[in-house]
Amino acid sequence: MVEIDPEGIESRELLAAMDFKDTMVLEVGCGDGRLTFKYGAVPRRVVGIEPSASPLTNAHSNCPTALSSHVHFVQATAMTLPFRDHSFDVVLLAKSL
């Protein structure tokens, strides 16, 4: 099994790059939510999108209870985002560009 970033470098760098407090975040390419869960406690709301159903199922089932009220996962692609104009403060392209 692979263990990715046990040192927590990704979340440290993300949170240092900008202030996520009280923000609405769209994470494009959230996969199974591995990265989402690392910073998800800070923003007001996080929506993770992923085109494939299988990793999204894992994201739903692995989402920590403490995050489940404001972290959501949606099956969608970056080409056609199912959201209104000006809905987010941050768009995070998570290894998806």
Which residues of the chain form contacts with another protein (CB under 8 A)?
1-7, 9-10, 13-14, 16-18, 26, 28, 78-81, 83-97
d(CA 65, CA 17): 26
State which residue, 6 or 53, has the beta carbon closest to another protein: 6
Least Cβ distance, residue 63 to another protein (angstroms)? 20
CB 42, CB 14: distance < 8 Å: no
d(CA 9, CA 22): 22
Least Cβ distance, residue 60 to another protein (angstroms)? 21
The single-letter DSSP state of residue 2 is: -
Least Cβ distance, residue 64 to another protein (angstroms)? 21
Tokens 């000006």 correspond to 86
State which residue, 58 or 96, has the beta carbon closest to another protein: 96
